[in-house]
Structure formats: structure tokens, C-alpha cells
Structure 1
Amino acid sequence: MDTKWQPTLNTVGRSKYKALADNIREGVAAGTLLSGDRLPPVRDLAYRLSVTPGTVARAYTVLTEEGVLQAGVGRGTFVAEAATQADSAHDWPTTLTLRSPQVPDMGQSQLLREAMQTCADSMTAQDLLMYPSRMDDLPLRRALRHWMADLPIGNFTAEDIVLSHGAQSALMLVMQTVLRGPDPVVAVESLTYPGFRRAAELCRARVIGIGCDTEGPIVAELEAAVRDHGAQLFCTSSEVNNPTLRTTSPARRREIAALAQRLGLHVVDDDCYTIGPHRDESYHSLLPNLGWYVSSLSKSLTPALRVGYVVAPLDRVPDLARTAAFSYFGLSRPLAELTLAVMNDPRILSVAAKIRARINEMVRVAVNHLGGHNVTWHQDVPFLWVSLPQGWRASSFTRTAEAQGVIVKSSEEFVLRDARAPHAVRVAVNGLVDPARFEAGIIQLRKLLDNPREEITV
């Protein structure tokens, strides 16, 4: 028989599903709901509470993942046995890693499994034994062109796309294609993705930092990097700066494009973290002969495929394709076919939308807890930039957080080696952990932010 328990929702400051989940937890803790009690069916409880069935289903799902409830196919949803609840509580990993964004599994792993089977059954011996060629991956490039159809990156075709082993590999390809001379120089923003610097160092290039203001990179400093240091390439992320989430304003993009055109400066626009609508044109659109667009499937679907891509300026496509061919001949045929099968699956757009929705939800959870501090965020970006209150330094905060089971990334990892880092940390969304575990980690970070530890050195 269903329990006669009737929740009372207090949704002030909370989502309805969270309020319901909290009410059920309180009922279990108080003994109102006992182990083995069957909860009302989703639709019945939704009707009684005047909420949508989706709200009830979501609350049940969260509590089932926590181990508070158990769901039996065709039998209903029950309060879990006390021992099961205790075991579930200990299933959480001792350390919660929030250093790098992790994509939640919203069905893409199953698509990958099915695609692997399909590819294994359909590929011939020749497909599996031959070196790859650029013609082999043309169907995948066409699929990616369709994937990018709504992006403001200018006119291009599948022929203008070169595939790589992730976006970091794509950056390397651009640098190897563009940089010339015995002392090449790459300009980057002073607070930015460290992969730019590492790729430049592998290409034996010097790196020059460019200061930024609220509009984006400072044009005068970029001009000085070209005129005084001979910078040949500027690496930036106009939509989402990693880690600050700053977006380069439309006016500043056009100033930078005009400068680059006048001085012959190549600009690579790394767009890996944009999973929502774009705010303005990419440099590939603003600089058709000098703008390079780089992205990958890592943040929108899965990093496991290791498929990145570059949209090159029209007259540089042969040069970039030759660099890729000299480096690794091209993507392996099985990898290209697997990725193509996933991209062509009619369910992929729905899965991508669910991934985005889950990231939105987890970002909002983090902001709800951390919003009393100086936090920069956007619902479509899977990390937050937290400026630390007085009394915390980035290094001491990250050490203390790790000692308490939460790992975040210090601002020091995003600046050039001789630059001064702000007192801030990047907190990433980890979609691979239970949402309740993620929220618990965020709460732990808030407690640290609320209680700075003043450091005195002599």
C-alpha cells in the first residue's frame, strides 16, 4: 500500500524538485517515512502537490541516486533500507575533483557503445588496414559542417575543415603552419588557457602576455607585441575566456580584427567552451584571410573521442592539411567512422541539449551557494571564476580545499610564469559525480570562503 505521507513544499529560494527531495529526506530522518514504505506514484503525487510529473520524477531520481529511495521496475518507488542508505553515503569518493569540467552522461555513452558495434560490423578489412587519407574523413567533415551550421564564423565548407586529435592538437597544427623564423612569437592574454602557452613552447616560440580590460584584450598592447616583439599569432577565446568567462565585446573584436589585418597578424579563436548561443562573430568571420577557428567535441559531447577541428582561412587550407598529413596522416579510419556514426545519430541533438541542461542546472546550484561572494559565471559555461575574499590567497585556498576533499584550480595555473596571479580560483562542473556530491563539495567551498584564514608572514 502507498504511504499516506503528504509533503508540504516550501520552495522559497529553492526549485520545486529540491524542496520535494528535502521534504522526503526530512521524512525519512524523522521516521515519518520508514524503510520499505512505498511512495505515491509520480502522477498521483504531482496532482496532490499541483506540480508537474517531471518535478516529482526528478526528485525521486535524485534521491534514488543518493540511495535514500529504491526504484523497482513495475513495483514503484520505496524508501531504501537503512543499511542501503548508509552504504550509499559511503559510495561518494573521498576527494571531489573540480579542477577540470567533466561532461555529464546524458546518453552519449550508450550512443558510443551502439556506434562501436555498428562500425565493427560495417567496416571492411581494407578500412581497418589502410593508412587514412583526407578523402576518408570527408563525410565526418561534412557532418561537422552541419554541426556548426548556426555558428557566426563566416562562410566555409567541409573542404575548409582539418581534423585533429582534440583542440590542443588543433592549436599545435595552426602554430606549426603559421609560425616562421628562428625566434617566433605568440601573443596570448595575460590570464588565459595554459594550453596556449604550452603549445607555443612545443613550437619553440616565445610567449608575450596581453593585458585585458572589461571589453577584452587591450589593442595597444597587442600592437606593441607585433611591432616590438614580432608576434605572428594571437591566441584568444573571444566568446569565453578560460578562466575568467570574459567575452570580448563586439566593438573590441572589430578593433583587433582591423589591427590584425593592418599588421598581418594571424588570430586563432579557441571556441571549445561555448555550448550555448554565441554573442558575436568569430575572428574567422571578421578576418577571412587571417582568422582561424578551433573547437572540439570534448565539452559538448565527450572528450574520449579526441576529435578537434580547425576551420582555416580559405587560402591556408592546403598548408594546414599538409601540416596535419606530415604530423599524423589524418584521423584513423575507425575513429573517424565512430565519430561520424555518433554525429549522424538522430538522437544526438537531444543528448546535446540534455548535457547543456544538466550543466545549466549544476552551475545554478553552485551559484546559489557561492553567489554571496565575488563569482563570475554563465549558465552555459561549465566552470565559475571565484575571486577570493581578503584573507585567502589562491595557493593557500586550494591547499586547504584539497585537505578537506575538494580540488579546484588556482589562478596561478592561468598566468605566464613571470606574471602575478590574482587571488582567485576556477571551480569546474563535474558532471560525472552524483549531483548531491557536487552540491556537498560546493557547500564545503562556501564554508571556506565564508571563513578566510589570514596568513601572516615574517
Structure 2
Amino acid sequence: MTIWNTELNTGNKAQALASLIADAIANGELQAGEKLPTQRALAEQLQLGIGTITRALALAEQQGHIQCKVGSGCYVKAQNQRQWGEDEQPDSLGMWQNLAVDQDRASPLLELFQLYQHNPAQLNQLLNDETAQGALFQRQILAEWLDQPSMRAEQLFFCYGGQHGLQTALLASGLAGQSLMCEELCYPGLSNLARQLNIKLKPVKLDEQGLCPDSLEAVLQHNSCRHLYLTPNQQNPTASTMSLERREQIVELAQRYQLTVIEDDVSSPLAQSPATLQNLLPEQVIYLNSFSKGVFRGLRFGYLHVPQAMIQEFTRSIRANAWLVSPLLIDLACQWIKQGHAEHALAQQANQLKQRAALLHHYLKGFDYRYQEGGLHCWLQLPSGWSSNSFAEAAKQQGLELASAEHFSVSGQVPNAIRLSLGQLSDNLALDQALALLRQLLNEGVPNSSDLC
């Protein structure tokens, strides 16, 4: 490729190299999904310093031309692809964001506000709480509602939703600048945090049940890493759920290699889990969940249950990144539980997801997909000839936004699959329209490359 033979002897060399990369992508010399040479190889071929190469790749990533994955390398991005975390595009049918089904929260929330109005002294006392862990009585309310014998109020922490909880867990585990094992297809929020905290992600292979024990052990034998992140229920994005036997295999490895496990259970408020890893190995598992996926969308309330030996580290982590979680937010969540709104919201979501799943099964009949009852997302294997990126782009041109597999890939290998989210659209009518467009596109087959320009 001529880009690697170009001399860059004058001006801002990093900026010039970033421009050459952009030009090579625009003229088709570099294709979507293609891996760039390593920084060392580029430095040798272009006779530039590693620092210049690093700045050039960072600039190309900021401009949206490439995506750099910690521990894997830099890859060409599909042009016009949605950046993870961007706001919803107007006038599109969104199935890319894993949101809970929309419900009425205003009416019951206003009732809770009236409780504070009638007892201002209690409200003032509540707002004086300065503990990093939250008041013990609040943690007891949550523990009683969770009804898990291995979860103790003394070991619970509150957080501002699942993403903040994950950040807290990474910092408390001392993972900044270190390595972390995770599923080869993984929640994009972890990749974003890993990039910011300079965490090297070590991908572990997946199968139809989720994380593969054999692959995990192979990674353990070749690396000193002793921390693992995974989602045993409703794996994001593949929608797989581990059997009890698989969970026990993971626990056995965790015990043998003394792993600290971050168990993310955010995606499955309605999942029928055989047993959480936290319940099987409480002294080594950090458990993470939130209200966002069904109990109260938008509240930004989450919680962690941590091993007894890590309580001080989590206290320090909370103090360092937020000082404390708002006592009023915590109390609203607790009142949401006490007044029965949490259970009602979950029951309402279960009913709506049952209806939406029926639409999904109707439109995807005959195609290769995975969906677990009560789940918010589906993993669809694409027909031969499609790539994940080209299908997502073709769908976007029809007004349908999907999450391509590239968003989730940690290893750099991008399967020909997409994730479909059932909760993002406002109602069943919009979902019916989106799924009809999806099936039409699947049936039409692969268009000419010029049709996607």
C-alpha cells in the first residue's frame, strides 16, 4: 500500500499521517474492518518515532476513521457508522440501544415526592448523610428485596447506574494500567473504560452458553492476569445464558487461579438464572446490577455487592470518583421498592417483552438468531455474503439503526452478526415496522457495493 511508502519529513508528521489514513480509506485502499500494521511496524517503515505514530493513530480515531482496541490493535471503521453512546438520530427506527421498554414513571414518582413534602425533617436528616456506602437501613431494604442469602447489606454499595458501577469496580480492583480478561464479544462500555484507564483487555472465546472454560484456562496459563469480567445471564451481545454446570466450571477455575470476578447482571432483570456466580463464590465475585433495564429506566441507580475483603477499596473508589452517591437518589430507589413500584415495573416489562418477542419470532422465522425469554436483545447471524458493517449500513439507509458486531468485538474478529434491541422503540407498532424492514432486507440479499455508497 502506497500509504506506508510515503515520506513524511516536513510539517506536522502526525497530522499528515492521519490525513493519509483518511485518504486511503476514502479511496478504498483501506477497507472497513482491516487491521492496520502495529505501531512499531509503522514507525520502522515510515522512519518515525513511536510517539508520532501514537499521536497520528489517536487523531485518526478522534476523526472517526479507525478504532483502536487495547491489546488488539487498530482497525478501519465503517464510514458513517454510529459511535457508541451517541444520541438517537431523528426520524429513525432505533434497535441499536439496549433500553428497557418505556413505562409511565412520572405518576408514581410524584406520589413519592409527596412523602417528602409531608415530612421535611426526615428529608433534611436524609440529605445530611455523608457515608460513601449509603445508610445501613437503605442497604437493608435493597438486600431484603433482592432476597439472595449470599448478599449481605454490609457488603452492598450504591452507584449511579451500571456504567458508574463498572468504573468503580475497575478502580477498586486496581486495574488501571493492568490487564482484564473478558468475553471476546463484550459490552462496549467496558471497552470505553478500558481505553480511558489504559486497561489491556484479554479476550476469551464464547460459545452458545457464553464464556468458554477451556479458552479461559488457556488465557490464564499464558498471562498473569487474575481479573475477569463477564455476563453470565443474557450475555451482551450474544443473548446466551450459562447453565449451572458452566457456572460451576467457571467458579472452579476462579478458585484454582484465585481470580477476582466482576459479574455484570445488568442486562437481565427478568432472567431465570440457575445461580449467580456471586452466590456460588461470594468471597471472590463483585456483583453489579442496576435499575436501568426494567425497574426504573432513567433513574441512574445501580448497586454492587463486593467481597468482605474489598469493602475498604470500594469505599476509597467511591470517594475518589463521586465522593458519595446522592442520599436522595438512594432513598427514591428504596421507596420505589417499598411502595411496590419496582415489582410492578418488572411485571409490566415482562408482559410487554412477551408481546415484542412474539413479533420478533414472527419476522425472524427461518433465520439464525438467539433470544432468551425476558431479554432485551437478540443476536442475529446474517445470511451468507453480508458483513456486519455492510448490513448495518444498508439498514441505516432504510431508516433502521442496528448495532453491528464491530461495536462489541474485543479480539478484532468481527462475526457476521448484529444485535437487535427490543426495548428502544416506543411501542409495538414501531417495532412491527422495524422488523418488517429488517426481514425485507434479509430476504433481498446482498446488494452491489455501489448501492451502499
Class of the TM-score when normalised by the shorter of the 2 chains: 0.7 to 0.9
Q: Which residue of 1 aligns with 2:432?
A: 439
Does residue 111 of the first structure (1) align with residue 108 of the second (2)? yes
Classify the secondary structure of the residue corresponding to 1:199: helix
Name the counterpart of 1:428.
Answer: 421
2:390 is aligned to 396
8 Å contact kept, 1:184–1:230: no
Contact 2:381 2:417 in 1 (8 A): yes
User: Separation in 2 of the partners of 1:411 and 1:268?
Assistant: 23
Amino acid at match of 1:236: L
For 1:226, the equivalent position in structure 2 comes to 220
Provide the C-alpha distance between the structure 2 equivalents of 1:433 and 1:270, rounded to a whole number of angstroms. Answer: 26
- Other-structure match for 2:202: 208
Q: How does 1:161-310 map to 2 (within 5 A)?
A: 161-179=156-174, 183-310=177-304
Q: CA deviation at 1:265?
A: 1.0
2:331 paired with 1:340: no
Q: How big is each residue's C-alpha offset from its partner over 1:373-407, in whole Å with a ceiling of 9 and x where there is no partner?
A: 11111220011111111232211111121121111
Of 411, 434, 442, which aligns to 1:449? 442
Return the alpha-carbon distance in structure 1 between the equivalents of residues 208 and 160 of structure 2.
33
Q: How many angstroms apart in 2 are the aligned matches of 1:116 and 1:289?
A: 38
The separation in 2 between residues aligned to 1:362 and 1:160, in whole angstroms, is 37
Distance 1:131 1:204, change over 3 A: farther
Q: Which residue of 1 aligns with 2:150?
A: 155
Q: What TM-score, normalized by structure 1, do the two folds share?
A: 0.73
Q: 2:140 aligns with which of 129, 139, 142?
A: 142
3-state SS of 2:256 partner = helix
- Where does residue 370 of structure 1 map in the other structure? 364
Distance 1:452 1:292, change over 3 A: same
- 8 Å contact kept, 1:243–1:426: yes
Judged with a 3 Å threshold, the aligned counterparts in structure 2 of structure 1 residues 201 and 252 are, in CA distance, closer, same or farther, namely same
Q: Which amino acid aligns with 1:158?
A: A
Contact 2:98–2:377 under 8 Å retained in 1: yes
- Shift of the alpha carbon at 1:318? 3.0
**Could you tell me how far 1:130 is from its partner in structure 2?**
4.0
In 1, Cα distance between the equivalents of 2:447 and 2:179? 40
Provide Cα deviations, 1:108-129, integer angstroms capped at 9, x if missing partner. 3321232234335534474586
Question: Structure 1 residues 283-292 or 134-143, which shifts more?
Answer: 134-143
In structure 2, how many angstroms separate the alpha carbons of the residues matched to 1:273 and 1:121? 36
Query: 1: distance between equivalents of 2:246 and 2:419?
Result: 25
Structure 1 ranges of 4+ moved more than 6 A: none
Distance 1:425 1:283 in 2: 28
Helix, strand or coil at the partner of 1:384: strand
Q: Which moved more, 1:372-381 or 1:313-322?
A: 313-322
Mapped to 2, the partners of 1:346 and 1:142 lie a distance apart of 16
The answer as to whether partners of 1:387 and 1:424 remain within 8 angstroms in 2 is: yes
Q: Deviations over 1:253-276 (max 9, x none)?
A: 212211111111111111112222
State how many pairs are aligned: 360
Q: 1:116, 1:140 → 2: CA distance?
A: 17
Q: Distance in 2 between matches of 1:183 and 1:338?
A: 36
Deviation string 1:222-278 (CA, Å, 9 cap, x unpaired) is 233334222121100112211111112222221221111111111111111222243
Q: Matched residues, percent identical?
A: 24
In structure 1, the residue corresponding to 2:385 is in which secondary structure?
coil
Q: Contact 2:133 / 2:324 at 8 angstroms: preserved in 1?
A: no
SS of equivalent to 2:356: helix
**Aligned partners of 1:147 and 1:172: how far apart in 2?**
25
State the one-letter code of the partner of 2:241: T
Q: Which has the larger radius of gyration?
A: 1
Cα distance in 2 for residues equivalent to 1:414 and 1:263: 27
SS of equivalent to 1:294? strand
What is the alpha-carbon distance in structure 2 between the residues aligned to residue 135 and residue 192 of structure 1? Answer: 29
Which secondary structure does the structure 2 equivalent of 1:322 belong to?
helix
The code of the aligned residue for 2:443 comes to: D
Q: Give the Cα–Cα distance (whole angstroms) in 2 for the partners of residues 277 and 388 of structure 1.
A: 26
Q: In structure 1, the residue corresponding to 2:293 is in which secondary structure?
A: coil
Assess, with a 3 A threshold, how the Cα gap between structure 1 residues 423 and 136 changes in structure 2: closer, same or farther: closer
Q: Does 1:100 align with 2:97?
A: yes
Q: Distance in 1 between matches of 2:194 and 2:173?
A: 11
Q: Which moved more, 1:198-207 or 1:229-238?
A: 198-207
Displacement of 1:136 in angstroms is 4.7
Structure 2 vs 1, CA of residues 448 and 432 (structure 1 numbering), >3 Å: closer, same or farther? Answer: closer
Structure 1 distance, partners of 2:443, 2:362, is 14
SS in 1 for 2:115: helix
From the superposition, tell whether residues 217 and 352 of structure 1 become closer, same or farther in structure 2 (CA, over 3 Å). Answer: closer
Q: Letter of the 1:114 partner, please give it.
A: E
Task: State the SS of the aligned residue for 2:321.
Answer: helix
**Alpha-carbon spacing, 1:271–1:129, altered in 2? closer, same or farther (3 Å):** closer
Contact 2:425 2:431 in 1 (8 A): no
- Whole-Å Cα distance in 2 between the matches of residues 381 and 325 of structure 1? 34
The alignment yields a C-alpha RMSD, in angstroms, of 2.3
Aligned equivalent of 1:11: none
Scaled by the length of structure 2, the TM-score of the pair is 0.74
Q: Deviations over 1:50-76 (max 9, x none)?
A: xxxxxxxxxxxxxxxxxxxxxxxxxxx
Matched to 1:324, the amino acid is I
CA displacement at 1:431 relative to structure 2: 5.4
Task: Give the 3 Å change call, closer, same or farther, for CA 94–327 of structure 1 in structure 2.
Answer: closer
- Is this contact kept in 1: 2:234–2:372, CA < 8 A? no
Secondary structure of the 1:102 match is coil
**Distance verdict in 2 for CA 1:346–1:189, change over 3 Å:** closer
Structure 2 SS opposite 1:246: coil
2:406 to 412, 416, 422: 412
Is the CA contact (8 Å cut-off) linking 1:300 and 1:352 kept in structure 2? Answer: yes
Correspondence for 1:132? 130
Aligned-partner SS, 1:187: strand
Q: 1:437 to 1:277 in 2, by over 3 A?
A: closer
